[in-house]
């Protein structure tokens, strides 16, 4: 039987506003409703960013805690906190929800290097990566490594060699961020050839790259991330009415391709949580 599929729903992100799309969930209640709709459509992981009352990106542990509680009350899904946050957040702010919350998330992200991020700089120098690795080990959390460019896999391999991160790792190959690797199949294949031994992987394609890259990931036995954070369109010129339609579409395609959806328990096993 082919590997059960783990779909991650990236429902909000840090960069989008309601001006980009009116379907963006912002408040804890809206985020929990969207997480539930995505879980019902087949998502097993919700990648979570939160916003303050003005809709600005936030790493406030209290907002994460409130949103987490609402999601837990409504559905069974693996909750992954973003520790990437917004480009404006400091390392301490990004780590605050991990350090301060108990119970905390099931899963966290760990971005593997500094890069241009559109017109901004997403700042992740090596000493910051060392601090993050230590914080995740102390919190007994297994991170998902966010790989935006090929050199980030080399950084990850160095950190594995130094014993800073637990193996096998799970990588999210995020292709198509302006400043990172472009969202095409050649880049995906190169990253797959370069993964650390035994790694499992998810693909996130930004914008128009989301559908073709995630469909290829289905065929290649990988896992997928979809949602408004990466792509606000259902098809060219047509906004997706939230992340759930994007989850439902890839779940339908997976069914046609004989990739059964993982249960939440299977997803935990696949991700090593």
Binding site for ligand KMH (CB under 6 A): 13-15, 82-84, 86-87, 109, 111, 117, 122, 146
87 binds, among Zn ion, ligand KMH, none (CB under 5 to 8 A by kind): ligand KMH
Closest separation between CB of residue 193 and ligand KMH, Å?
24
Closest separation between CB of residue 258 and ligand KMH, Å?
31
Closest separation between CB of residue 47 and ligand KMH, Å?
7
Pairing relationship of beta strands 107-111 and 78-81 according to DSSP bridges: parallel
Spatial separation of the C-alpha atoms in residues 213 and 203, rounded to whole Å: 7
Closest separation between CB of residue 229 and ligand KMH, Å?
7
Q: Cα 37–42–48 angle (5° rounding)? A: 60
Spatial separation of the C-alpha atoms in residues 33 and 35, rounded to whole Å: 5
Binding mask 34-73 for Zn ion (x = CB under 5 A): ----------------------------------------
Closer residue to ligand KMH (CB): 107 or 117: 117
Give the CA-trace dihedral at 168, 247, 239, 19, to 10 degrees: -50
Closest separation between CB of residue 47 and Zn ion, Å?
6
Closest separation between CB of residue 111 and ligand KMH, Å?
5
122 binds, among Zn ion, ligand KMH, none (CB under 5 to 8 A by kind): ligand KMH
Q: Which of residues 80-109 bind Zn ion (CB under 5 A)?
A: 82
DSSP symbol at 177: -
67 binds, among ligand KMH, Zn ion, none (CB under 5 to 8 A by kind): none
Closer residue to ligand KMH (CB): 148 or 254: 148
Please name which of 116, 107, 95, 111 lies closest in space to residue 153, comparing C-alpha atoms.
111
**Pair 169, 160: CB distance under 8 Å:** yes
Closer residue to ligand KMH (CB): 124 or 261: 124
What per-residue string of b and e applies to 141-179 under the rule 16 or more CB within 10 Å gives b?
A: bbbbbbbbbeebbebbbebbeeebbeeebbbbbbbbbee
**Pair 12, 31: CB distance under 8 Å:** yes
Closer residue to ligand KMH (CB): 82 or 194: 82
Burial of 27 (0-12, 13-18, 19+ CB in 10 A): middle
Closest residue to Zn ion, judged by C-beta, is 82
Closer residue to Zn ion (CB): 12 or 191: 12
């Amino acid at each position: 039987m082919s590997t059960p599929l783990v779909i991650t729903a990236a429902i909000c992100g840090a960069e989008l506003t309601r001006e980009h799309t009116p379907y963006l969930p912002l408040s804890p209640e809206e985020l929990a409703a969207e997480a539930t709709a995505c879980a019902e459509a087949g998502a097993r992981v919700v990648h979570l960013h939160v916003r303050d009352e003005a809709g600005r990106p936030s790493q406030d542990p209290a907002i994460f805690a409130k949103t987490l509680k609402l999601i837990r009350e409504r559905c069974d899904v693996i909750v992954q906190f973003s520790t990437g946050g917004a480009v404006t957040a400091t390392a301490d702010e990004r780590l605050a929800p991990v350090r301060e919350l108990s119970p905390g998330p099931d899963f966290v992200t760990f971005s593997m290097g500094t890069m241009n991020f559109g017109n901004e700089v997403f700042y992740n120098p090596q000493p910051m990566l060392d601090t993050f690795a230590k914080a995740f080990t102390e919190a007994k959390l297994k991170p998902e490594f966010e790989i935006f460019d090929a050199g980030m896999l080399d950084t990850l391999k160095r950190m594995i060699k130094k014993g800073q991160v637990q193996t096998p790792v799970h990588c999210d190959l995020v292709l198509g961020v302006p400043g990172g690797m472009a969202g095409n199949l050649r880049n995906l294949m190169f990253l797959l050839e370069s993964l650390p031994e035994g790694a499992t992987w998810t693909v996130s394609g930004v914008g128009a790259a989301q559908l073709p890259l995630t469909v290829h990931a289905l065929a290649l036995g990988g896992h997928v991330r979809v949602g408004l954070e990466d792509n606000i369109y259902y098809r060219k010129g047509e906004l997706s009415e939230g992340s759930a339609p994007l989850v439902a579409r890839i779940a339908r395609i997976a069914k046609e391709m004989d990739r059964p959806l993982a249960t939440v328990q299977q997803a935990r096993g696949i991700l090593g949580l």
